[in-house]
Amino acid sequence: MIRTVLFLTILLAGCSAIPQTETPIKPPELVKSARLPPILSVVPGEGMRFNVKILVLKDGTVGDVKLLESSGDAEWDSLALHSIMKWQFVPARADGRPMDVWVRQPLVVQLRDPIIRVLDGLVSATEHEADSLYSLVEHGMDFDSLLRQAVQVSGERGRALGAVDISVYAPPLRDELLRLREGEVSRPLRFGDGFILYKRLKKDPA
């Protein structure tokens, strides 16, 4: 019988960059994972482990992924590698400049239910801009009006996100969104190289 949703827990202590230069590298940071394929076998309580090597490109996308240690299910491994290709990162940097880098990443797969939130998002390229927008909201400016203005100026800045499974976000962002109450607007939250003010809408799907 196919089990419920699979969620990937990242063991950050095991993440290591494979440098292509002698310049010190700030390693990439996971922003958003992707839903993994269902699995037929029984997953132990501590999770199913496997190990991969990921090429994170300077735009934060994944250019390649290679299996270093199998989960024990070759077919599932192949499907999981395809899912990892959809991950999003803050790219690695050397001297402040984004760069391509390989990272070795041990992973643990655990069975968890999705966490659905209905969200809108107001996107900013810089923390200063995001802080300014948040200050407007704090002083009574209507978030929905700001969102409409942003959509008119640039569709990229205003996003009607809709129903989102926040369990695929990296833990810091996921935990902030978990604390967000209905109708509340978050402080600026980092997403990749930008920042987003999230508003949790009043009705989440069943």
SS (H, E, C) the chain: CCCCCEEEEECHHHCEEECCCCCCEECCEEEECCCCCCCCCCCCCCCEEEEEEEEECCCCCEEEEEEEECCCCHHHHHHHHHHHCCCEEECEEECCEEECEEEEEEEEEEECCCCEEEEEEEEECCHHHHHHHHHHHHCCCCHHHHHHHHHHHCCCCEEEEEEEEHHHECHHHHHHHHHCCCCCECCCEEECCEEEEEEECCCCCC
For residues 132 and 106, membership in a common domain is answered with no
Per-residue pLDDT at 171? 83
C-alpha to C-alpha distance for 94 and 23, rounded to whole angstroms: 6
Better pLDDT: 110 or 201: 201
For residues 13 and 107, membership in a common domain is answered with yes
Does residue 21 have a pLDDT over 70? no
Better pLDDT: 55 or 162: 55
Looking at the DSSP assignment, which residues form a beta bridge with residue 53?
66, 104
Q: How confident is the model at residue 25 (pLDDT cuts 50, 70, 90)?
A: confident
Closest among 52, 107, 87 to 192, alpha carbons compared = 87
For residues 81 and 139, membership in a common domain is answered with no
Q: Is residue 205 part of a domain?
A: no
* Number of domain units in the chain: 2
Q: Is residue 150 part of a domain?
A: yes
Does residue 103 have a pLDDT over 80? yes
Per-residue pLDDT at 55? 94
Residue 46: both structure tokens together: 């501590």
Residue 143: both structure tokens together: 């978030």
For residues 106 and 76, membership in a common domain is answered with yes
Average pLDDT over residues 99-125: 85
Does residue 126 have a pLDDT over 80? yes
By residue range, what is the domain housing residue 137? Answer: 116-200
Place of tokens 């390229």: 125
Q: How confident is the model at residue 11 (pLDDT cuts 50, 70, 90)?
A: very low
Q: How confident is the model at residue 168 (pLDDT cuts 50, 70, 90)?
A: confident
Q: How confident is the model at residue 186 (pLDDT cuts 50, 70, 90)?
A: very high
C-alpha to C-alpha distance for 189 and 154, rounded to whole angstroms: 20
Place of tokens 């920042």: 195
User: Which amino acid is located at 144 in the chain?
Assistant: D
Per-residue pLDDT at 72? 82
Per-residue pLDDT at 147? 85
C-alpha to C-alpha distance for 62 and 179, rounded to whole angstroms: 30
Per-residue pLDDT at 65? 94
Q: Where a domain ends, among 48, 77, 111?
A: 111
Does residue 179 have a pLDDT over 90? yes
Average pLDDT over residues 85-100: 90
Q: What is the mean pLDDT of the chain?
A: 81
Per-residue pLDDT at 100? 92
Per-residue pLDDT at 67? 93
Helix or strand or coil: residue 90? strand
The vertex-65 CA angle with 95 and 193, nearest 5°, equals 40
Q: Is residue 168 part of a domain?
A: yes
